[in-house]
Every structure is written in structure tokens, then in C-alpha cells.
Amino acid sequence: MRFFSVALAASITLAACSSSDEEISADMRCLVGSYRVAAGDVIDIGLSSSDHLRWRIMSGEVGRVSRDQDGVWAGTTGWSDLPHTARLAMTACGDDGIEISGIEGLQGPATRISHDIQDIRFTGADEELAGRLVMPAGSEPVPIVVLVHGSEDWSARDYAFLQRMLPAHGIGAFVYDKRGTGESTGQYTQDFDLLAADAAAAHRTALELAGGRASSSGYLGGSQGGWVAPLAATLSQPDFVIASFGLAESPLAEDREQVQMELREAGYDDAVLDRARQVTDITGRLLASNFQDGAEDLARVRREWGDEAWFQEMRGEITGEMTMRPLWQFRMGYRFLGVGTSWGHEPVPVLREVGVPMLWVLAGADREAPSAPTRQILTELQSNGHIIDIAFFPDTDHGITRFVEAEDGSRQGLGYAQGYLEMLVDWSRHQAFTQTYGNAELSPFAAPPAQ
């Protein structure tokens, strides 16, 4: 949910905020698709911005490319500024072939993969949403995955690559623009109940469109979607749920754990961490009570600790923004960008209610959603008979991404963890791990012995 804190800072500066999706040319849209080389491997080419593309392959390699003066698309590794040897020769609209060089294992010509696509408008929780069902070509039954958004405020139909990557590997995908984004109506929100109702409506719509081709169906939610997808499962009848780089703690706990992790990494001791926890308890009470409870306590800790270095270095999801300026000023920005966030949402009761298999994929070095408490919670739910598989990718950041870290602690994403994308495909099909996936630590559900 990093979008909230970044946007809040901007709103306090500008006193108001508006955003709109970038205009994307027809020529750029024509290049988007999944392509298969002669050996069978797949490269997906999707939008990165109005003038850049991003390619991805199943091994987890990712690159950002733009067109050079010779018409060849070249660029950088992952989401970084590090160069990559990949070169993509793509021509005009209507040409379904491309030429690939500089990507190990994917050299030579590749042909666009044909999918069966149905665009539709459907009704969510009192809003009209723009959706799309993308199915592997053919007539055989396949699993269908409903892609549930994180906190992004842009069109998923434009930018969600799994809507093509999954069908290229035999899994149907339903993608939709969340309310207030893309071509959907309504206001952008982070109200989990509303978003879950929209996701459940998307699930019903996907099954209606797929008809007899749906062998099974489920949700795949990343980041904030890890809160929304299980909640949607309680409103519908899916066969499975996948939550990736999400939390089994509340949004307030996310803020608390970020503050703790950042101060620990900065070298502060347990005494400071204890004081910081007192601060996040106060900021959490303020948010959960709509600023009715905690203002005097916030003023007190500012007087006591406000001049200390650790206090000034606190960031987290929301606490740093609230403590670095007068509360009235924070509230002014929050009035524009509070977006109905479900701060008091408690995931564990929801997870206990979900009666279908779940996969949780966790990033071991996640700065936005520190995963250690979530891993412990999920392990306890597992031991109590809840059908949860856990995959833990060490040394990965939010998004299950590999990264390099600079001396100042900043990170540049290089690509996905090896095995991550294969896992999403396998588990969507089998609701079980069928192999090893890179260096992921797998904790499959094991039914307790019969008494």
C-alpha cells in the first residue's frame, strides 16, 4: 500500500490531487501480447508506460525497452537502470511475428499466441466495471483465475501481464479495471468490503462467460489483494485463493512492522523499537477512530521524543507522514486521499472462514509488507487444519522480486524470483506444489492424522 503514503505526501504539498491514465497509442497497443518461440518458450510483452514496453519470461527475467533510432526495442534489466542485452525487433500493427536476441534461451523468431478474448461491462457493488476474460484458444476446460488488484490506481486491463501469461500456459484469466480506474465507473477506494464485492461480481461474470470451459476457478490477489481476495472468497464459491506478497495482519500492523524493520535496519536498539511501537499504537488509534482517539498522546510523544533522531527517521506506511507535521496538516491531506482504507480490517477471522485451498507466497526481504509475522500466523492456521500452502522466497522484495541494494539502502528490482511464475501456473491448475520452485521454502498443508 505504498501508494497511499506517497500520494498523501503529494496531496499535503498540493492540497489536492487528481490522476488519469496515460494516453496509449494504437501502435503501442498493437505490440502487446504473448509470443512463442519455436522451442515452445513464451515471452510476454506488455505496456510499461505510454512509450515503453516491458517483457517478461517464465524464468522470472524482466526488462524495460523503448524503440531506438533503428526501430529496435532495447533497454534495461527489470525495474532498474542497469542495461540488458535483450533486443526485440517488432514491426507494424497486424504483424504477429517478432525477432528476439540477447535473452538466453529465447533467440530467434517468435509468433503471437492467439487467445479467445471477451470484453464485457458488468455491475460490481453499484458501479459498472470494465472486464475481460482471456482464455487459451480451443474448447477444452481450463482453470480460471480472477486477478484481484493491489493498491494501484491504473487500468489493470492495460497493465496486468498475467491476463496473457496465464492463458499462454493453459490457465484462463479474468481481469478488470477496479472502480475509479481505467474504463470503470465510481471513485477509487481502498475499502476492502467494496473491493471484495467487486471481485466477487467479477468471479460470477467470469464463470458466466466461460460456461462449460471452466474446470475450476479462483482468485489471485497481490499486495492489498491479499486482504481483498480471501474476503471475496467468503462472498462467492471459488475453488481456490492465491495471495501473493500480502499480509495476514491488519493494515495498521503493516505500518507498525515497516517502522520496526526500518529502524532495526538503521541500527537502533530494542529500547528505541519499544518507543516506536508506542508511537505506531497511537497513530493506529488515530486512524481507526477517524482522529477521535489519540491526539493528546501524539502531542505527548512529540514533546518527549520529537527531537530524537529515531523519531525523525520513522517512515512506515503512514506513521512517518503523521508525525513529521502538525496533525491538522496531516488531516487536510488525508481528507483528499484517505480513500476509505479499511484500517481496522482483521484478516485472520476471514481466513478461518475461507473453506477452500489457499496458497500464500511471501517475500523474505519485503520492505512494504514485512512477512515474518504473516508466515507465523499462516503456519498456526495450517496446524489448525486450514488448507493453506505457504511458499517463502528468501531475499526477495515486494512483488517476489530479486533486487540489488545500494550502499544507501535503496533497491533496484531485477526481475521475479526463479520459479515464482511457474508456481502460479502449477498451483492454479493443481492446488498443490508439483515440483521445486527456485529456492522457495515450501510448506505444504498436511492433513492432521485421523483420531
| Bridge pairing between strands 240-244 and 33-37 | unpaired
Residue 148: per-residue pLDDT: 98
Neighbours of 384 (CB within 10 A): 10
Retrieve residue 356's grid coordinates: 477452500
* DSSP β-bridge partners for residue 73: 67, 88
In this prediction, residues 197-209 reach a mean pLDDT of 98
Q: Convert 395-447 into a string of H (helix), E (strand) and C (coil).
A: CCECCCEEEEECCCCCEEEEEECCCHHHHHHHHHHHCCCCCCCCCCEEECCCC
Answer for the pair 374, 389: CB distance below 8 angstroms, yes or no.
Answer: no
Residue 290: per-residue pLDDT: 84
Rounded to an integer, what distance in angstroms lies between the CA atom of residue 279 and that of residue 273? 10
Phi-psi group of 434: left, alpha or beta (phi > 0 → left; psi -120 to 50 → alpha; rest → beta): alpha
pLDDT tens digit string along 51-96?
A: 899 999 999 999 999 998 888 999 999 999 999 999 999 876 767 8
Percentage of the chain modeled with pLDDT above 70:
93
pLDDT tens digit string along 295-307?
A: 999 999 999 999 9
Report how far apart, in Å, the C-alpha atoms of 47 and of each of 27, 39, 208 are.
12, 25, 29
User: Measuring CA to CA, which residue among 291, 300, 356 is closest to residue 318?
Assistant: 291
Residue 12: per-residue pLDDT: 34
Is residue 213 pLDDT above 80, yes or no? Answer: yes
Rounded to an integer, what distance in angstroms lies between the CA atom of residue 185 and that of residue 395? 39
In this prediction, residues 135-148 reach a mean pLDDT of 97
Residue 49: per-residue pLDDT: 86
* DSSP β-bridge partners for residue 144: 172, 217
Rounded to an integer, what distance in angstroms lies between the CA atom of residue 431 and that of residue 424? 10
Is residue 357 pLDDT above 60, yes or no? Answer: yes
Least confident segment among 16-30, 126-140, 341-355, 364-378: 16-30
Average pLDDT, the chain: 91
User: Measuring CA to CA, which residue among 372, 412, 379, 141 is closest to residue 258?
Assistant: 372
Any residues with CB less than 8 A from the CB of 308 and at least 6 apart, and which? none
User: Measuring CA to CA, which residue among 364, 431, 366 is closest to residue 398?
Assistant: 366
Residue 34: per-residue pLDDT: 96
Element of type H or E holding 265 = helix 251-265
Is residue 3 pLDDT above 60, yes or no? Answer: no
Least confident segment among 3-7, 8-12, 113-117, 388-392: 8-12
Residue 16: per-residue pLDDT: 31
Retrieve residue 299's grid coordinates: 502531542
Rounded to an integer, what distance in angstroms lies between the CA atom of residue 137 and that of residue 116? 5
Retrieve residue 57's grid coordinates: 519470461
Classify 242 as helix, strand or coil: strand
Retrieve residue 206's grid coordinates: 467470469
Q: What are phi and psi of 299, to 5 degrees?
A: -60, -40
Rounded to an integer, what distance in angstroms lies between the CA atom of residue 266 and that of residue 248? 26
Residue 336: per-residue pLDDT: 58
Retrieve residue 150's grid coordinates: 493491489
In this prediction, residues 31-36 reach a mean pLDDT of 94
Q: What is the DSSP letter of 188?
A: -
User: Measuring CA to CA, which residue among 114, 164, 172 is closest to residue 143?
Assistant: 172
Q: What are phi and psi of 240, to 5 degrees?
A: -165, 165
AA identity, residue 410 = S
Rounded to an integer, what distance in angstroms lies between the CA atom of residue 86 and that of residue 409? 28
pLDDT tens digit string along 261-277?
A: 899 989 999 999 999 99
Residue 338: per-residue pLDDT: 64
Instruction: Give all domains of the chain, ordered by start, each with its CATH number.
Output: 2-16+251-337 (no CATH), 32-112 (2.40.128), 115-250+345-443 (3.40.50.1820)
Residue 50: per-residue pLDDT: 82
Q: What are phi and psi of 364, to 5 degrees?
A: -70, -25
Rounded to an integer, what distance in angstroms lies between the CA atom of residue 400 and that of residue 150? 14
Answer for the pair 4, 287: CB distance below 8 angstroms, yes or no.
Answer: no
Answer for the pair 103, 111: CB distance below 8 angstroms, yes or no.
Answer: no
* DSSP β-bridge partners for residue 116: 135
Burial 234-245 (b: 16+ CB within 10 A, else e): bebebbbbbbbb
Q: What distance, in Å, lies between the first and last C-alpha atoms of the chain?
A: 43
Instruction: Please state the pTM of the whole predicted model.
Output: 0.89
In this prediction, residues 180-185 reach a mean pLDDT of 96
User: Measuring CA to CA, which residue among 424, 378, 370 is closest to residue 230?
Assistant: 378
Confidence band (pLDDT; 50, 70, 90) for 450? low
Residue 234: per-residue pLDDT: 98
Any residues with CB less than 8 A from the CB of 114 and at least 6 apart, and which? 137
Least confident segment among 17-21, 140-144, 347-351: 17-21
Confidence band (pLDDT; 50, 70, 90) for 13? very low
pLDDT tens digit string along 280-323?
A: 999 989 988 888 999 999 999 999 999 999 999 999 888 999 99
